[in-house]
A and B are shown apart, each in its own frame.
Chain A
Amino acid sequence: MSLQRLLARLRNLSKRAQIDEELGEEIDAHMEMEQAEQVVAGHTPDRARAEALRAFGNVTLSREDAQAVWRFQWIETLWQDARHGARTLRRNLGFTAVAVATLALGIGATTSIFSVVDTILLRPLPYKDSQKLIAVYSTYPRFQGMRLAVSMRDWSEMRSNTHSFEQAAFFFEEQMDLVGVTEPEKVWTYQVSPGLFQLLGQQPALGRFFLPQEEDPGQGQGQVGVLSWKFWQADFGGNRGVLGQTLALDGTEYTIVGVSAHGFDLPGASGEYSTQVWLPIQRSTGSAMNAHFTGTLAGGMLARLTPSASVHDANVELQTIGDALAREYPENDKNWSLQAMSVQDQVVGDQRTPLLVLLGAVGLLLLIACANVASLVLSRGLKRESEFAVRTALGASRSRVVRQLVTESLVLALLGGTVGVLLAIGGVLAFRSFAPPNLPRLEEIRPDFAVLWMAMGIVLFAGAISGLAPVLQLGRPDVITAVKQGGAGRSTMRSGLRGAVVVVEVGLALALTIGSLLLMRSLSNLTNQPTGMRIDHVLTMNLQLPQSRYPDRQHGEAFVRQIIENIRALPGVESAAAADINVLGGGDNLASRVRVEGNPDTAQGVGNIALSDVTPGFFGLLGISLLEGRTFTQQDASGAPAVAMINRKMADTFWGKRDPVGTRVSFDTDAKGRPIWLTVVGVVADTRDSSLETPPKPEIYAPLLQQTVFPSIALMIRTHAGALAILPAVKQQIWKADKEGPITDVETLEGVVTQDVAEPRFRTRLLGVFAALGLVLAAVGIYGVVSYAVAQRTREIGIRIALGAQTSSVIALVLRYGMTLVGTGILLGAALALGLSRLMAGVLFGVGPLDGWAFLASSLVLASIGFAACYIPARRAMRVDPLIALRYE
């Protein structure tokens, strides 16, 4: 288009109406002249008028063509179609509401779940070159499968001379008391090696990070700290003047030298564990820097793989380093090994399978939404066949009709998309507030707009294709027939297509429902899991007994005895006990070389046996029933004969029919490698004391007070009333015995169980919602297709009734049609679920992926919903008045 013409068009835009009118007048004049000539030629005026019209042809079309020359025709057509589409949609409110809701659901649900999955599983962590970051951890045979911290000395040995990784950085967290800023509060501090920030590619938002010499304990200069962005905002109101101010943490003054960037934290630290203050590691090591201390002080270690190295290379090298360290420092490192994993894997943890299950579910939902939109649009399009035929007959070209339909789909998509966007944003926000807080990277989750467009595109595509189906088959020669038939005929051949869409929809919904029921069964198994313990009214907490203050058994033993006695004396306390490991804490201490006297199979020692060190009140407090012999007493202390108790599983496994009481068992050896024997004094019932999901293992209990070292103990207190109410008094007692005694992990056992099942519960609810939505959509789909079929066959039904068909047989006719579709869908869905549910095996507890009950129940649910959806149109068919039906055309 030349510039001149473009300008002319733009000028004409303002004179649209005038030009339009002039064109009309001009054509009228033309017609009159033609007519006048026809009259001259001898025709009557009427005849002349007809002749003139015939000679001119399609007046409107030529007027439109002429307008097209100077208008921006496509925009006007688009606008016109959009308005027409909107009008049509407004007239069919039911259709519009369902289609928009379906579109919005598909788009919203898919986008929010995919945004979650993308953030947690796919998106690289927000660190420089994060794929090359590894986390190094220790393993120890007794704590199977657990990733333990690395000692500070191990880290310093790995700071140089490694080949597969470099820039090793070290950190550990500590909760400190802050006074002087706002109210006294506990803040999470991370003490880090200065190189950590460089390793993660961080720049401070304000000021600076730590200098290399600030880590060095010998320097003795002023202590420095860096605030996290969040803490800076919360406690200092983002005041830029904080640099140079001091911060009193645990009684030491720190000069604030910087603020870390917005959103920066260590991998995996989020929510309530967010870092508040960064400190150089100097402080904790300063005074106590000695071989023993650095050998046991443990924290996290991060490093960067060298460009050509893989995680596997790092693991090979770490094996060698670990062996060397064990030889050099046997007192700390014997039997310890080092391993590495990518930080990404560490952060994702065991969330992969559950998230993929959710993603799969939402994918099914999207497909159902597509099928639903397709079936809706298809039914509607067939109803409108005559409209298209008329348009074609009036001179609309096929591309013009197609364009109109596409525009209508776009209007629909725009509506659905808008609601969908809102739904997606709401969904993400809801996910963030309802998700269990231990989900990694929760705070990073944002609605992903790329996915949004994609989901919208998919649903739209399905809608547009189905909308076009009737037009693409609209052969020109048939126009007249189509007009005459008024849309009632011709469509039977495509009812197969709509039927197929419904079958697919039912199948997908069934698969979704089966998945949801499997999760529900699994959750109920988990929550109803008998633990073998009484967990109500029990408060637990961990007490640290640092070696600096409890260098030997006497000190530790005295402390434990004293606080248990003091706490038991508190009003409201029923009993108190201690163990070396948290009940339901998720882990076991495992003994690797257990020998049972009189059982030759154990002569070389057997492994994988749980080991708990407990105080005498332990079994009574948790209500673990004694089956044989006696429990521990206060007399089973250091100096007394070494004793042990076992659980029933242990007794059954290693003693068989023999009576264990009075025989001996060993789980450790002395310096010369000879077994240390303990006499079994009692047998107790099996418990699930490590976690709900872990079945009981053979277990040995030993008196805590006969064991040599206890760096920390788990304290348990059974109360008469609410467990948490007693906490302040308990803390007071502990601090009376040890005024620096750090208390961590304060929880009630019931709270632990609730947290344990929080994630499966959340997952189950989410999938339940998806399944419910899927069912609703499927019901709408069935209803739509069956109603349409009834409307199509009104005439046939009328004839049947006129010929004396019973209402029951009419209903049966409709139900047979609908239920055949539903039944086929159920078969298809069952087959689909057979394939898909296997992928869920990893998240199921106590129920197999091919659970017959879930399959059967879901099929029944779908069959009944399908029946209801068919029954309503069937009733309508029954009420068909034969007279009206026969006059229908």
Chain B
Amino acid sequence: MKRMVEAPQRLELFQGTLDLLILRTLRWGSMHGYGIVKFIEQSSQEAFHVDHGSLYPALQRLQQEGWISAEWGTSTTKRRAKFYRLTAAGRRQLAVEQSRWKRFTAAVAYVLQPRQAAAEEE
């Protein structure tokens, strides 16, 4: 499904990660799909490429879980666009996801470079 990863230096996002990044992006206020893509790509120093084929399904999914809600608004270019915002449940979910992510990266770091990871822990 996830195809068209064109720049080899870019990293591919996994589904769970993308969900986390979307929730995190929306923490600062509502945003439309294009904005979410741009924000993630820029704030990751262009390391991440958000596959559009995954973005819209992810947005639909998060909406169904009740973590984000959507409403039509007008973009900066005066274009009608759908804006997503974080719900209260989404905020709680973001906290859960963030701590899970931290534990996950820490664990990976331990496996890869135990010493350095321990040093950073202190």
Chain A residues packing against B (C-beta within 8 Å):
2, 4-5, 8-9, 22-23, 25-27, 29-30, 32-34, 36, 55-58, 61-63, 65-66, 68-70
Separation of A23 and B82 alpha carbons in the complex (Å): 9
Distance in Å from the Cβ of B12 to the closest Cβ of chain A? 13
**Quick one: given A5-B64, A69-B64, are A33 and B75 in contact (CB under 8 Å)?**
yes
Q: Binary interface profile of B, 69-88, with partner A (CB < 8 Å = 1, else 0)? A: 00000010101111000000
User: Which residues from A are CB-within-8-Å of B34?
Assistant: 29-30, 33-34
Are A68 and B57 closer than 8 Å at their CB atoms? Answer: yes
> Which of B32, B53, B79, B80 has a CB less than 8 Å from the CB of A65?
B53
Is residue B1 within 8 Å, beta carbon to beta carbon, of the partner chain? yes
Are A29 and B81 closer than 8 Å at their CB atoms? Answer: yes
Are A57 and B79 closer than 8 Å at their CB atoms? Answer: no
Instruction: Please name 8 further chain A to chain B contacts, defined as beta carbons within 8 Å, in addition to the given A26-B32, A55-B52, A69-B61, sorted by A numbering.
Output: A27-B33, A29-B33, A30-B32, A30-B52, A57-B51, A57-B53, A65-B57, A70-B60
Are A5 and B65 closer than 8 Å at their CB atoms? Answer: yes
Separation of A153 and B55 alpha carbons in the complex (Å): 94
Separation of A271 and B60 alpha carbons in the complex (Å): 69
User: Which residues from B are CB-within-8-Å of A56?
Assistant: 52
Question: What are 28 A-to-B residue pairs whose CB atoms are below 8 Å?
Answer: A2-B65, A4-B66, A5-B65, A8-B64, A22-B82, A26-B33, A26-B56, A26-B82, A27-B33, A29-B34, A29-B81, A30-B32, A30-B33, A30-B81, A32-B77, A33-B32, A33-B34, A34-B34, A55-B52, A57-B3, A63-B56, A65-B54, A65-B56, A65-B57, A66-B60, A68-B57, A69-B61, A70-B60
User: Which residues from B are CB-within-8-Å of A9?
Assistant: 64
User: Which residues from A are CB-within-8-Å of B77?
Assistant: 32-33, 36
User: Which residues from B are CB-within-8-Å of A69?
Assistant: 57, 60-61, 64
In chain A, what residue has the closest Cβ to B82?
Answer: A26
Are B75 and A66 closer than 8 Å at their CB atoms? Answer: no
Separation of A57 and B53 alpha carbons in the complex (Å): 7
**With contacts defined as CB atoms under 8 Å apart, how many contacts are there between chain A and chain B in the complex?**
77
Are A29 and B80 closer than 8 Å at their CB atoms? Answer: yes
In chain B, what residue has the closest Cβ to A71?
Answer: B60
Are A27 and B56 closer than 8 Å at their CB atoms? Answer: yes
Q: Which 9 residue pairs across A and B have the least CB separation, nearest first? A: A66-B56, A69-B60, A62-B53, A33-B34, A29-B81, A57-B4, A30-B34, A65-B57, A66-B57
Distance in Å from the Cβ of B7 to the closest Cβ of chain A? 11
User: Which residues from B are CB-within-8-Å of A63?
Assistant: 56
Separation of A2 and B75 alpha carbons in the complex (Å): 34
Distance in Å from the Cβ of A418 to the closest Cβ of chain B? 37
User: Which residues from A are CB-within-8-Å of B60?
Assistant: 66, 69-70
Distance in Å from the Cβ of A163 to the closest Cβ of chain B? 76
> Which of B1, B52, B64, B79 has a CB less than 8 Å from the CB of A33?
B79
Chain B residues packing against A (C-beta within 8 Å):
1, 3-4, 32-34, 37, 51-57, 59-61, 64-66, 75, 77, 79-82
> Which of A2, A25, A58, A68 has a CB less than 8 Å from the CB of B80?
A25
Are A65 and B1 closer than 8 Å at their CB atoms? Answer: yes
**Quick one: given A26-B82, A36-B77, are A62 and B52 in contact (CB under 8 Å)?**
yes
Distance in Å from the Cβ of A228 to the closest Cβ of chain B? 67
Separation of A5 and B36 alpha carbons in the complex (Å): 23
**Quick one: given A4-B64, A4-B66, A8-B64, are A23 and B56 in contact (CB under 8 Å)?**
yes
User: Which residues from A are CB-within-8-Å of B33?
Assistant: 26-27, 29-30
Separation of A66 and B82 alpha carbons in the complex (Å): 15
**Quick one: given A57-B53, A62-B53, are A29 and B75 in contact (CB under 8 Å)?**
yes
- Residue of B1, B52, B59, B60 with most chain A CB atoms under a 10 A cut-off: B52
User: Which residues from A are CB-within-8-Å of B51?
Assistant: 57
User: Which residues from B are CB-within-8-Å of A62?
Assistant: 52-57
Distance in Å from the Cβ of A39 to the closest Cβ of chain B? 11
User: Which residues from A are CB-within-8-Å of B32?
Assistant: 26, 29-30, 33
In chain A, what residue has the closest Cβ to B77?
Answer: A36
Distance in Å from the Cβ of A37 to the closest Cβ of chain B? 8
User: Which residues from B are CB-within-8-Å of A65?
Assistant: 1, 53-54, 56-57
In chain B, what residue has the closest Cβ to A6?
Answer: B64
User: Which residues from A are CB-within-8-Å of B52?
Assistant: 30, 55-57, 62
User: Which residues from B are CB-within-8-Å of A70?
Assistant: 60, 64
Are B80 and A61 closer than 8 Å at their CB atoms? Answer: no
Separation of A36 and B32 alpha carbons in the complex (Å): 15
User: Which residues from B are CB-within-8-Å of A27?
Assistant: 33, 56
Distance in Å from the Cβ of A15 to the closest Cβ of chain B? 13
Distance in Å from the Cβ of A423 to the closest Cβ of chain B? 45
Separation of A34 and B82 alpha carbons in the complex (Å): 15
Distance in Å from the Cβ of A59 to the closest Cβ of chain B? 8
Separation of A435 and B65 alpha carbons in the complex (Å): 66
Distance in Å from the Cβ of A336 to the closest Cβ of chain B? 85
Separation of A8 and B65 alpha carbons in the complex (Å): 9
Separation of A624 and B16 alpha carbons in the complex (Å): 101
In chain B, what residue has the closest Cβ to A25?
Answer: B80
Separation of A70 and B56 alpha carbons in the complex (Å): 11
User: Which residues from B are CB-within-8-Å of A23?
Assistant: 56
Separation of A55 and B37 alpha carbons in the complex (Å): 11
User: Which residues from B are CB-within-8-Å of A22?
Assistant: 82
Separation of A68 and B34 alpha carbons in the complex (Å): 21
In chain A, what residue has the closest Cβ to B81?
Answer: A29
> Which of A5, A32, A55, A61 has a CB less than 8 Å from the CB of B79?
A32
Separation of A58 and B4 alpha carbons in the complex (Å): 9
Distance in Å from the Cβ of A595 to the closest Cβ of chain B? 98
Distance in Å from the Cβ of B106 to the closest Cβ of chain A? 29
Separation of A55 and B33 alpha carbons in the complex (Å): 14
User: Which residues from B are CB-within-8-Å of A4?
Assistant: 64-66
Are A29 and B53 closer than 8 Å at their CB atoms? Answer: no
Distance in Å from the Cβ of A9 to the closest Cβ of chain B? 8
User: Which residues from A are CB-within-8-Å of B64?
Assistant: 4-5, 8-9, 69-70
Separation of A27 and B60 alpha carbons in the complex (Å): 13
Distance in Å from the Cβ of B87 to the closest Cβ of chain A? 13
User: Which residues from A are CB-within-8-Å of B80?
Assistant: 25, 29
Distance in Å from the Cβ of A13 to the closest Cβ of chain B? 13
Distance in Å from the Cβ of B115 to the closest Cβ of chain A? 42
Separation of A224 and B99 alpha carbons in the complex (Å): 91
Are B53 and A61 closer than 8 Å at their CB atoms? Answer: yes
- Residue of A23, A25, A30, A34 with most chain B CB atoms under a 10 A cut-off: A30
User: Which residues from A are CB-within-8-Å of B53?
Assistant: 57-58, 61-62, 65
User: Which residues from B are CB-within-8-Å of A57?
Assistant: 3-4, 51-53
Distance in Å from the Cβ of B96 to the closest Cβ of chain A? 15
In chain A, what residue has the closest Cβ to B55?
Answer: A62
Distance in Å from the Cβ of A35 to the closest Cβ of chain B? 10
Separation of A30 and B38 alpha carbons in the complex (Å): 11
In chain A, what residue has the closest Cβ to B66?
Answer: A4
User: Which residues from A are CB-within-8-Å of B4?
Assistant: 57-58
Separation of A56 and B4 alpha carbons in the complex (Å): 9
User: Which residues from B are CB-within-8-Å of A2?
Assistant: 65
User: Which residues from B are CB-within-8-Å of A34?
Assistant: 34
User: Which residues from A are CB-within-8-Å of B56?
Assistant: 23, 26-27, 62-63, 65-66
Separation of A148 and B79 alpha carbons in the complex (Å): 101
Separation of A507 and B83 alpha carbons in the complex (Å): 69
Separation of A9 and B55 alpha carbons in the complex (Å): 19
Separation of A160 and B71 alpha carbons in the complex (Å): 93
User: Which residues from B are CB-within-8-Å of A8?
Assistant: 64
User: Which residues from B are CB-within-8-Å of A32?
Assistant: 77, 79
Separation of A4 and B60 alpha carbons in the complex (Å): 14
**Quick one: given A57-B4, A57-B51, A62-B52, are A29 and B57 in contact (CB under 8 Å)?**
no
Separation of A57 and B34 alpha carbons in the complex (Å): 14
> Which of B61, B65, B81 has a CB less than 8 Å from the CB of A26?
B81
Separation of A30 and B81 alpha carbons in the complex (Å): 8
Distance in Å from the Cβ of A301 to the closest Cβ of chain B? 76
Separation of A311 and B45 alpha carbons in the complex (Å): 90
Separation of A65 and B53 alpha carbons in the complex (Å): 7
Distance in Å from the Cβ of B69 to the closest Cβ of chain A? 12
Separation of A61 and B82 alpha carbons in the complex (Å): 20
- Residue of A23, A27, A29, A63 with most chain B CB atoms under a 10 A cut-off: A29
